[in-house]
Amino acid sequence: MVQRAQRVKDASTDPSKRAARRRGKPFGNATRGTTNPNRLRRVDRWLAGPQAWRLRGEDHPLVIDLGYGGAPTTAVELYSRIHAVCPSAHVTGIEIEPERVRIAKPLEHEGLDFCVGGFEIPVPGRPSMVRAFNVLRQYDEADVQLIWLTVCSRLAPHGIFVDGTCDEIGRRSTWVALDGTGPMSLTISLRFGGFTLPSDIAERLPKALIHHNMPGEKIHDFLQALDKYWLAGAPLAPFGNRQRWLSMCQRMYDAGWPVVRSPSRWRLGELTVDWAAVAPVPATALMPEAALAAS
Protein backbone atom coordinates (compact mmCIF):
# COMPACT_ATOMS: atom_id res chain seq x y z
CA MET A 1 0.00 0.00 0.00
CA VAL A 2 1.31 3.46 -0.92
CA GLN A 3 0.89 6.04 1.80
CA ARG A 4 0.16 9.60 0.74
CA ALA A 5 2.85 12.08 1.75
CA GLN A 6 1.81 14.16 4.74
CA ARG A 7 2.83 17.50 6.18
CA VAL A 8 4.84 17.28 9.35
CA LYS A 9 2.94 18.25 12.46
CA ASP A 10 4.01 21.51 14.14
CA ALA A 11 6.21 22.35 11.15
CA SER A 12 5.34 26.04 11.14
CA THR A 13 7.49 28.75 12.65
CA ASP A 14 4.74 29.63 15.16
CA PRO A 15 6.49 30.33 18.50
CA SER A 16 3.91 28.41 20.54
CA LYS A 17 4.44 25.29 18.44
CA ARG A 18 8.21 25.57 18.75
CA ALA A 19 7.76 25.95 22.50
CA ALA A 20 5.64 22.80 22.58
CA ARG A 21 8.46 20.87 20.94
CA ARG A 22 10.91 22.24 23.48
CA ARG A 23 8.60 21.00 26.27
CA GLY A 24 9.11 17.49 25.03
CA LYS A 25 6.47 16.98 22.36
CA PRO A 26 7.98 14.77 19.61
CA PHE A 27 8.53 16.58 16.33
CA GLY A 28 7.16 14.50 13.48
CA ASN A 29 4.36 12.14 12.45
CA ALA A 30 3.80 8.45 13.01
CA THR A 31 4.74 6.56 9.83
CA ARG A 32 3.80 3.14 8.51
CA GLY A 33 6.72 1.51 10.29
CA THR A 34 7.29 -1.28 7.77
CA THR A 35 10.76 -2.82 7.67
CA ASN A 36 12.57 -6.05 6.83
CA PRO A 37 15.70 -7.74 8.20
CA ASN A 38 18.90 -6.75 6.42
CA ARG A 39 17.07 -4.08 4.45
CA LEU A 40 19.55 -1.34 5.39
CA ARG A 41 22.74 -3.34 4.93
CA ARG A 42 24.00 -1.06 2.13
CA VAL A 43 23.91 2.18 4.08
CA ASP A 44 25.19 0.43 7.22
CA ARG A 45 28.14 -0.86 5.21
CA TRP A 46 28.87 2.72 4.19
CA LEU A 47 28.55 4.10 7.72
CA ALA A 48 30.79 1.38 9.14
CA GLY A 49 33.22 1.76 6.24
CA PRO A 50 34.28 5.15 4.82
CA GLN A 51 32.35 7.07 7.50
CA ALA A 52 33.69 5.16 10.50
CA TRP A 53 36.29 7.88 11.15
CA ARG A 54 33.48 10.02 12.57
CA LEU A 55 33.19 7.59 15.49
CA ARG A 56 36.83 7.74 16.50
CA GLY A 57 36.91 11.32 17.78
CA GLU A 58 34.87 10.54 20.91
CA ASP A 59 35.20 8.05 23.75
CA HIS A 60 31.58 6.90 23.51
CA PRO A 61 30.10 8.12 20.22
CA LEU A 62 26.34 8.17 19.90
CA VAL A 63 24.60 6.67 16.86
CA ILE A 64 20.87 7.17 16.23
CA ASP A 65 18.45 5.00 14.26
CA LEU A 66 15.71 7.58 13.75
CA GLY A 67 12.26 6.20 12.96
CA TYR A 68 13.22 2.52 13.05
CA GLY A 69 9.63 1.41 12.48
CA GLY A 70 7.25 -1.21 13.78
CA ALA A 71 10.03 -3.64 14.72
CA PRO A 72 13.46 -2.77 16.18
CA THR A 73 15.30 -4.95 13.66
CA THR A 74 17.21 -2.18 11.92
CA ALA A 75 18.41 -0.68 15.22
CA VAL A 76 19.70 -4.06 16.39
CA GLU A 77 21.47 -4.59 13.08
CA LEU A 78 22.95 -1.09 13.19
CA TYR A 79 24.34 -1.78 16.66
CA SER A 80 25.97 -5.00 15.45
CA ARG A 81 27.60 -3.35 12.43
CA ILE A 82 28.76 -0.23 14.25
CA HIS A 83 29.98 -2.20 17.26
CA ALA A 84 32.22 -4.25 14.95
CA VAL A 85 34.24 -1.14 14.04
CA CYS A 86 33.72 0.90 17.23
CA PRO A 87 32.99 -1.22 20.32
CA SER A 88 32.53 1.88 22.49
CA ALA A 89 29.69 3.32 20.38
CA HIS A 90 26.19 3.57 21.80
CA VAL A 91 23.15 3.12 19.53
CA THR A 92 19.74 4.58 20.35
CA GLY A 93 16.62 3.74 18.40
CA ILE A 94 14.08 6.57 18.34
CA GLU A 95 10.42 6.15 17.45
CA ILE A 96 7.50 8.57 17.74
CA GLU A 97 5.05 5.75 18.56
CA PRO A 98 5.30 4.79 22.27
CA GLU A 99 3.99 1.28 21.58
CA ARG A 100 6.86 0.58 19.19
CA VAL A 101 9.33 1.64 21.87
CA ARG A 102 7.59 -0.54 24.45
CA ILE A 103 7.96 -3.56 22.15
CA ALA A 104 11.67 -2.83 21.67
CA LYS A 105 12.55 -2.28 25.34
CA PRO A 106 13.23 -5.98 26.15
CA LEU A 107 16.06 -5.92 23.59
CA GLU A 108 17.97 -3.19 25.40
CA HIS A 109 21.45 -3.92 26.69
CA GLU A 110 24.66 -2.04 27.29
CA GLY A 111 25.29 -0.11 24.09
CA LEU A 112 21.71 -0.22 22.78
CA ASP A 113 18.53 1.44 23.99
CA PHE A 114 15.25 2.84 22.70
CA CYS A 115 13.25 5.99 23.41
CA VAL A 116 10.21 7.94 22.26
CA GLY A 117 10.93 10.98 20.14
CA GLY A 118 11.09 12.57 16.73
CA PHE A 119 13.38 14.76 14.67
CA GLU A 120 14.32 16.79 17.74
CA ILE A 121 16.35 13.73 18.89
CA PRO A 122 15.60 13.86 22.64
CA VAL A 123 18.76 12.27 23.98
CA PRO A 124 21.69 13.60 26.04
CA GLY A 125 24.72 14.62 24.05
CA ARG A 126 25.19 15.10 20.33
CA PRO A 127 25.15 12.14 17.93
CA SER A 128 28.03 11.32 15.61
CA MET A 129 25.65 9.57 13.23
CA VAL A 130 21.92 9.81 12.62
CA ARG A 131 20.35 7.41 10.15
CA ALA A 132 16.76 8.03 8.99
CA PHE A 133 15.77 5.58 6.27
CA ASN A 134 12.40 5.40 4.53
CA VAL A 135 11.20 8.09 6.93
CA LEU A 136 11.27 11.42 5.10
CA ARG A 137 9.80 9.86 1.96
CA GLN A 138 6.50 9.70 3.87
CA TYR A 139 6.50 13.48 4.41
CA ASP A 140 5.75 16.35 2.05
CA GLU A 141 8.76 17.72 0.19
CA ALA A 142 7.97 21.16 1.62
CA ASP A 143 8.95 19.87 5.08
CA VAL A 144 12.29 18.34 4.15
CA GLN A 145 14.24 21.54 4.69
CA LEU A 146 12.94 22.04 8.23
CA ILE A 147 13.55 18.39 9.11
CA TRP A 148 17.11 18.58 7.78
CA LEU A 149 17.72 21.79 9.74
CA THR A 150 16.33 20.33 12.95
CA VAL A 151 18.36 17.11 12.85
CA CYS A 152 21.59 18.77 11.71
CA SER A 153 21.38 21.25 14.59
CA ARG A 154 21.76 18.28 16.96
CA LEU A 155 24.87 16.75 15.38
CA ALA A 156 28.29 16.53 16.98
CA PRO A 157 30.99 18.70 15.34
CA HIS A 158 31.98 15.88 12.98
CA GLY A 159 28.55 14.29 12.92
CA ILE A 160 26.61 13.11 9.90
CA PHE A 161 22.91 12.79 9.13
CA VAL A 162 21.86 10.24 6.51
CA ASP A 163 18.45 10.69 4.89
CA GLY A 164 17.80 7.67 2.67
CA THR A 165 15.35 5.46 0.86
CA CYS A 166 15.49 1.86 -0.32
CA ASP A 167 13.24 -0.83 -1.74
CA GLU A 168 11.58 -3.45 0.43
CA ILE A 169 14.54 -5.86 0.47
CA GLY A 170 17.40 -3.38 0.19
CA ARG A 171 18.56 -4.07 -3.35
CA ARG A 172 18.13 -0.49 -4.50
CA SER A 173 19.18 2.23 -2.09
CA THR A 174 19.99 5.95 -2.11
CA TRP A 175 20.90 8.43 0.58
CA VAL A 176 21.82 12.07 1.11
CA ALA A 177 24.60 12.74 3.60
CA LEU A 178 24.46 15.99 5.57
CA ASP A 179 26.62 17.63 8.20
CA GLY A 180 26.16 20.83 10.17
CA THR A 181 26.63 22.95 7.04
CA GLY A 182 24.04 21.14 4.92
CA PRO A 183 23.83 18.37 2.31
CA MET A 184 27.20 17.08 1.11
CA SER A 185 26.58 14.16 -1.22
CA LEU A 186 24.18 11.70 -2.79
CA THR A 187 25.04 8.00 -2.82
CA ILE A 188 23.36 5.33 -4.92
CA SER A 189 23.84 1.64 -4.19
CA LEU A 190 22.45 -1.12 -6.39
CA ARG A 191 22.63 -4.90 -6.33
CA PHE A 192 24.21 -6.22 -9.51
CA GLY A 193 21.56 -8.00 -11.50
CA GLY A 194 18.82 -6.07 -9.73
CA PHE A 195 18.40 -3.39 -12.39
CA THR A 196 18.26 -2.92 -16.15
CA LEU A 197 19.55 0.66 -16.23
CA PRO A 198 21.10 2.65 -13.38
CA SER A 199 18.26 5.15 -13.70
CA ASP A 200 15.94 2.45 -12.35
CA ILE A 201 17.01 3.87 -8.98
CA ALA A 202 14.86 6.96 -9.69
CA GLU A 203 11.84 5.55 -7.87
CA ARG A 204 13.96 5.23 -4.70
CA LEU A 205 15.47 8.71 -4.67
CA PRO A 206 15.21 10.62 -1.37
CA LYS A 207 12.22 12.94 -0.97
CA ALA A 208 14.36 16.01 -1.72
CA LEU A 209 15.07 14.69 -5.22
CA ILE A 210 12.39 12.23 -6.27
CA HIS A 211 10.08 14.87 -7.78
CA HIS A 212 12.93 16.56 -9.65
CA ASN A 213 13.84 13.77 -12.03
CA MET A 214 12.81 15.66 -15.15
CA PRO A 215 14.60 17.48 -18.00
CA GLY A 216 16.30 20.64 -16.80
CA GLU A 217 17.07 19.26 -13.35
CA LYS A 218 20.54 18.16 -12.28
CA ILE A 219 19.45 14.80 -10.91
CA HIS A 220 17.91 13.97 -14.29
CA ASP A 221 21.18 14.83 -16.04
CA PHE A 222 23.08 12.67 -13.57
CA LEU A 223 20.88 9.62 -14.09
CA GLN A 224 20.96 10.07 -17.86
CA ALA A 225 24.76 10.17 -17.76
CA LEU A 226 24.84 6.96 -15.73
CA ASP A 227 22.62 5.25 -18.31
CA LYS A 228 24.78 6.56 -21.15
CA TYR A 229 28.00 5.13 -19.74
CA TRP A 230 26.31 1.93 -18.59
CA LEU A 231 25.14 1.28 -22.15
CA ALA A 232 28.58 2.21 -23.49
CA GLY A 233 30.02 -0.54 -21.31
CA ALA A 234 27.88 -3.24 -22.94
CA PRO A 235 30.95 -4.98 -24.46
CA LEU A 236 32.06 -5.74 -20.88
CA ALA A 237 28.81 -7.58 -20.09
CA PRO A 238 30.35 -11.04 -20.67
CA PHE A 239 32.76 -10.29 -17.82
CA GLY A 240 29.92 -9.51 -15.42
CA ASN A 241 27.94 -6.53 -14.21
CA ARG A 242 30.62 -5.53 -11.73
CA GLN A 243 33.15 -4.87 -14.49
CA ARG A 244 30.55 -2.95 -16.45
CA TRP A 245 29.69 -0.87 -13.37
CA LEU A 246 33.35 -0.13 -12.70
CA SER A 247 33.71 1.08 -16.27
CA MET A 248 30.64 3.29 -15.93
CA CYS A 249 31.95 4.87 -12.72
CA GLN A 250 35.36 5.54 -14.24
CA ARG A 251 33.76 7.11 -17.32
CA MET A 252 31.68 9.37 -15.07
CA TYR A 253 34.84 10.44 -13.26
CA ASP A 254 36.73 11.01 -16.49
CA ALA A 255 33.84 13.06 -17.90
CA GLY A 256 34.19 15.51 -15.02
CA TRP A 257 31.33 14.44 -12.80
CA PRO A 258 32.30 15.12 -9.15
CA VAL A 259 32.01 11.49 -8.08
CA VAL A 260 34.13 10.02 -5.32
CA ARG A 261 36.86 7.99 -6.99
CA SER A 262 36.83 4.85 -4.88
CA PRO A 263 37.05 1.60 -6.86
CA SER A 264 36.63 -0.40 -3.66
CA ARG A 265 33.21 1.19 -3.17
CA TRP A 266 32.37 0.99 -6.86
CA ARG A 267 32.88 -2.76 -6.68
CA LEU A 268 29.99 -2.90 -4.21
CA GLY A 269 27.61 -1.28 -6.67
CA GLU A 270 27.97 2.07 -4.91
CA LEU A 271 28.66 5.53 -6.30
CA THR A 272 28.78 8.87 -4.44
CA VAL A 273 28.48 12.28 -6.11
CA ASP A 274 28.73 15.81 -4.69
CA TRP A 275 25.37 17.23 -3.71
CA ALA A 276 25.92 20.36 -5.82
CA ALA A 277 25.90 18.18 -8.95
CA VAL A 278 22.38 16.83 -8.29
CA ALA A 279 20.71 19.46 -6.09
CA PRO A 280 17.27 20.72 -7.13
CA VAL A 281 17.15 23.88 -9.23
CA PRO A 282 17.22 26.36 -7.62
CA ALA A 283 19.05 24.75 -4.72
CA THR A 284 18.11 25.91 -1.21
CA ALA A 285 20.97 26.54 1.18
CA LEU A 286 20.99 24.85 4.56
CA MET A 287 22.22 27.39 7.08
CA PRO A 288 23.37 26.43 10.59
CA GLU A 289 21.79 29.58 12.07
CA ALA A 290 18.44 28.60 10.57
CA ALA A 291 18.79 25.20 12.19
CA LEU A 292 19.18 26.76 15.60
CA ALA A 293 16.15 28.97 15.04
CA ALA A 294 14.02 25.98 14.02
CA SER A 295 14.94 23.83 17.01
Tens digit of each residue's pLDDT (9 = 90 or more) over 66-112: 999 999 999 999 999 999 999 999 999 999 999 999 999 999 999 99
- Within-domain flag for 6: no
Q: Does residue 18 have a pLDDT over 70?
A: no
Domain count, the chain: 1
Residue 175 in domain: yes
Domain span including residue 122: 15-294
Nearest to 194 by CA among 252, 245, 238, 135: 245
Using pLDDT thresholds of 50, 70 and 90, give the confidence band for residue 285: low
Does residue 90 lie in a domain region? yes
pLDDT of residue 36: 84
Give the tens place of pLDDT for each residue, 118-171.
Answer: 999 999 999 999 999 999 998 999 999 999 999 999 999 999 999 999 999 999
Say if CB 179 and CB 188 are below 8 A apart.
no
Neighbours of 68 (CB within 10 A): 29
pLDDT, residue 284, reads 57
Asked whether residue 2 is assigned to any structural domain, the reply reads: no
Q: What is the pLDDT of residue 13?
A: 43
What local confidence, expressed as pLDDT, does residue 28 receive?
Answer: 85
**Residue 198 included in any domain:** yes
Confidence at 294, pLDDT banded by 50, 70, 90 = very low
CATH number of the domain at 144, please: 3.40.50.150
SS3 assignment, position 287? coil
Average of pLDDT values for 201-216? Answer: 97
pLDDT score of 22: 45
CA dihedral 281, 221, 250, 254 (to 10 degrees): -80
For residue 124, whether the previous peptide bond is cis, meaning omega lies within 30 degrees of 0, is no
- The predicted pLDDT at position 16 comes to 37
164-167: which pairs have CB atoms within 8 A and are 24 or more residues apart? 164/43, 164/131, 164/132, 164/133, 164/134, 164/206, 165/133, 165/134, 165/136, 165/137, 165/204, 165/205, 165/206, 165/207, 165/210, 166/39, 166/40, 166/42, 166/43, 166/133, 166/134, 166/204, 167/204
In the predicted model, is pLDDT for residue 293 greater than 60?
A: no
Determine, yes or no, domain membership for 9: no
Q: Which 3 state secondary structure label does DSSP give 259? A: strand
Residue 35: the pLDDT is 81
- pLDDT digits over 160-202, tens only? 999 999 999 999 999 999 999 999 999 999 999 999 999 999 9
Indicate whether 81 belongs to any domain. Answer: yes
pLDDT of amino acid 21: 46
Residue 10 lies in a domain: no
Residue 73 has what pLDDT? 96
- Residue 283 pLDDT level (bands cut at 50, 70, 90): low
The tens digit of pLDDT for each residue in 239-273 reads 999 999 999 999 999 999 999 999 999 999 999 99
> What pTM does this model have?
0.89
Distance, CA of 295 to CA of 63 (rounded, Å): 20
